[in-house]
Chains A and B, each alone.
Chain A
Amino acid sequence: MIETKGLTKRFGTLTAVDNLTLKVNEGEVFGFLGPNGAGKTTTVRMLCCLISKTSGEARIADYDVGKEADALKIRKLIGLVPDTVGLYDDLSAYDNLDFYGKLYGCTETQRKENIQRFLTMLGLWEKRDAIAGTFSKGMKQKLAIARALIHEPELLFMDEPTANLDPESAKTVRDFILGLKKEKKTIFLNTHNLDEAQRVCDRIGILSTKLLATGTPQELERALSSGGGARRTVVLLQEQATDAMLAGLRQLTGVGSVTVEGNKLDVTLSDPDKQNAAVIEAIVKAGGHIQSVTIAGASLEDVYLKLVREGGS
């Protein structure tokens, strides 16, 4: 759905995006992680044909980004939730959406149906006639999402959709994105919220002007683990660990070291998310009673911080 090769954007002497090469598949939620000023918004603006690229190539579906003749076709294909909601505060929620529906060339029936559908999904249908200026930040953000979806785009760009939202509103927006994911919508999500990226995205790209890494959250964690930042499962038992438990654990594949400290077992694993069930089963089989199981070690946050710091230096 999205393919870039060496995509670069310079503003004068400042390089905002440097040699970006990535691929986003159809039906995928791709998270673009990076600190402020990493070039996330600039990338989205280039892909949405809002600003020109300095060099490199980019394609959305079968269209060339940067080719004047394709710009309108690309914009028709995509929906954008910008980092600022940019609603018309003097218009009602309904009129805001209706205006954009018209610009995207939707028929009156399509507009009516989609406005009702998306406002209902986002819990705003009852407020459809209320002036957008009276909405809370969360409601405005939801309305901006509905606006981006009004023409049922194949590809949705979301630029930090939960930034500045309270936890409840952020959760509503995240849940909505998860709902879109189930509908197999292709979503390009700019965020610097690691937890959000991990929960919502199929794959993640870490950007700091240059693309530092791409992969699933698990792949990125594993990559750091193999580089010395191993992930571990810490098991707290109700009793002292026994030799039988240790022997059972050491027989499992993918287990590195097992250390014991009183009633705490520290097990180094290649992929704790997949192997924890086997670890628990081995302990229980050996007669152990488990109080809690936690994953420690290289997390997506560790990966992100390591890459961004290395990228910065």
Chain B
Amino acid sequence: MRLSQSWIIAAKDFKTLRKKKNIIYMLFFIPFLIAVLIPAVIGYVAHKSPAELVVFLPAFLFFYVILAGYLATPIASYTIAGEKVEKSLEPLLATPTTDSEILLGKGIAAFFPPLAALWGGSALFMLLMDLITRDELGYYYFPDSNTALVLLLLLPLALLMSVQVNVIVSSRVTDVRAGQQLGGLAVVPLMGLYVSGELNLINLGDASNLLIIAAALLVVDVLLFFVSRATFRREEILTRWK
């Protein structure tokens, strides 16, 4: 597999996506809105004690993992289902590029912009939270080792899962909107984890729990990789994708 071919495809998709203002706004608006909104609520509306804060802060950070499941949807569905709508897959498939190279290119295009938005948003979130909770806690809560686990491990794995779910869904739908609606289902298991945390069924501030979740996501990602590769075959694309 030649990574250079995948980068060419990803670069083309980045260029195309730059012109999709609604996708760009959505991509950056939500992570940055959460980054501002939650600190504002904690700081000025729902005052929390230090004991409550150390429970809520890691849970709030987990919002970004949930968003990872959601934010990959518009781009992933656009890059695959969009090509179907524009009927541009046939000339692309006629180039000396393998199915895996195309799939990887699409994956890169759907992976990195949300990752940048989520890391940017979470950095702002941590900064504002630290400023607001410093006096109450007596120390800066973020970043800690769990933050690194959530942002550098869980979040990319959740994003990868969402990208792959969307690739699979996009191969079965006829338009971008349908792809986005169905692809959004990737957020459900992540939302389930968050709710479990809120119900004290899982402690999302515990490093070993986070590692178990990461391991589970890794297994899901590997399985989805094989499913998406099996889905993205040029013969299927040209003769069955309608």
Interface residue from B89, B96, B234 paired with A76 (Cβ < 8 Å) = B96
Asked if A105 lies at the interface with its beta carbon under 8 angstroms from chain B, I say: yes
Interface residue from A50, A73, A89, A105 paired with B238 (Cβ < 8 Å) = A50
A88 to B89, CA, bound (A): 10
Tell me whether A11 and B239 are in contact in the complex, defined as CB-CB below 8 angstroms, given that A88-B86, A91-B12 are known contacts: yes
Inter-subunit contact A95/B15 (CB<8 Å):
yes
- For residues 4 through 46 of chain B, which have their beta carbon under 8 Å from a beta carbon of chain A? 5, 8-9, 12, 15-16, 19-20
Which of A11, A50, A95, A105 has the most B CB atoms < 10 Å from its CB? A50
Q: What 1/0 mask marks residues of chain A from 136 to 168 whose CB sits below 8 Å from any chain B CB?
A: 000000001001100000000000000000000
Rounded to whole Å, the gap between the CB of A68 and the closest CB of chain B is 10
A78 to B15, CA, bound (A): 27
Asked if B235 lies at the interface with its beta carbon under 8 angstroms from chain A, I say: yes
Rounded to whole Å, the gap between the CB of B6 and the closest CB of chain A is 11
Inter-subunit contact A87/B86 (CB<8 Å):
yes
Minimal Cβ-Cβ distance residue in B for A80: B94
The segment out of A96-104, A203-211, A276-284 that lies at the interface is A96-104
Rounded to whole Å, the gap between the CB of B239 and the closest CB of chain A is 6
Which of B16, B89, B91 has the most A CB atoms < 10 Å from its CB? B91
For A11, what are the chain B residues with a Cβ–Cβ distance below 8 Å?
A: 239
Interface residue from A51, A88, A99, A104 paired with B96 (Cβ < 8 Å) = A104
Asked if B93 lies at the interface with its beta carbon under 8 angstroms from chain A, I say: yes
For A90, what are the chain B residues with a Cβ–Cβ distance below 8 Å?
A: 16, 19-20
Asked if B95 lies at the interface with its beta carbon under 8 angstroms from chain A, I say: yes
Minimal Cβ-Cβ distance residue in A for B16: A90
- For residues 53 through 78 of chain A, which have their beta carbon under 8 Å from a beta carbon of chain B? 72-73, 75-76, 78
For B19, what are the chain A residues with a Cβ–Cβ distance below 8 Å?
A: 90
Tell me whether A82 and B16 are in contact in the complex, defined as CB-CB below 8 angstroms, given that A45-B238, A72-B98, A105-B96 are known contacts: no
Asked if A115 lies at the interface with its beta carbon under 8 angstroms from chain B, I say: no
A52 to B90, CA, bound (A): 15
Asked if B209 lies at the interface with its beta carbon under 8 angstroms from chain A, I say: no
For A102, what are the chain B residues with a Cβ–Cβ distance below 8 Å?
A: 8
**Interface of chain B, main secondary structure:** helix
Asked if B181 lies at the interface with its beta carbon under 8 angstroms from chain A, I say: no
For B239, what are the chain A residues with a Cβ–Cβ distance below 8 Å?
A: 11, 51
A99 to B102, CA, bound (A): 13
Interface residue from A73, A91, A100, A105 paired with B91 (Cβ < 8 Å) = A100
For B94, what are the chain A residues with a Cβ–Cβ distance below 8 Å?
A: 48, 50, 75, 78, 80, 82
For B20, what are the chain A residues with a Cβ–Cβ distance below 8 Å?
A: 90
For A52, what are the chain B residues with a Cβ–Cβ distance below 8 Å?
A: 235
For A73, what are the chain B residues with a Cβ–Cβ distance below 8 Å?
A: 96
For A91, what are the chain B residues with a Cβ–Cβ distance below 8 Å?
A: 12, 15-16
For B97, what are the chain A residues with a Cβ–Cβ distance below 8 Å?
A: 72, 75, 103
Rounded to whole Å, the gap between the CB of B56 and the closest CB of chain A is 42
Interface residue from B89, B95, B238 paired with A104 (Cβ < 8 Å) = B95
For A99, what are the chain B residues with a Cβ–Cβ distance below 8 Å?
A: 8, 12
Tell me whether A72 and B96 are in contact in the complex, defined as CB-CB below 8 angstroms, given that A50-B238, A91-B16, A103-B5 are known contacts: yes
A105 to B5, CA, bound (A): 9
A75-B94, A82-B87, A88-B88 given. 17 additional CB < 8 A pairs?
Answer: A45-B238, A48-B94, A50-B93, A51-B234, A72-B97, A80-B91, A82-B91, A86-B90, A87-B86, A88-B16, A89-B86, A91-B16, A95-B12, A100-B91, A103-B9, A105-B96, A148-B91
Give B residues with C-beta under 8 Å from A.
Answer: 5, 8-9, 12, 15-16, 19-20, 86-98, 234-235, 238-239
Give A residues with C-beta under 8 Å from B.
Answer: 11, 45, 48, 50-52, 72-73, 75-76, 78, 80, 82, 84-91, 95, 99-100, 102-105, 144, 147-148
Q: Could you name 6 residue pairs across A and B whose Cβ atoms are closer than 8 Å?
A: A11-B239, A52-B235, A76-B96, A80-B90, A88-B16, A90-B16
5 smallest beta-carbon distances between A and B, as pairs: A86-B88, A80-B94, A84-B87, A103-B95, A76-B96
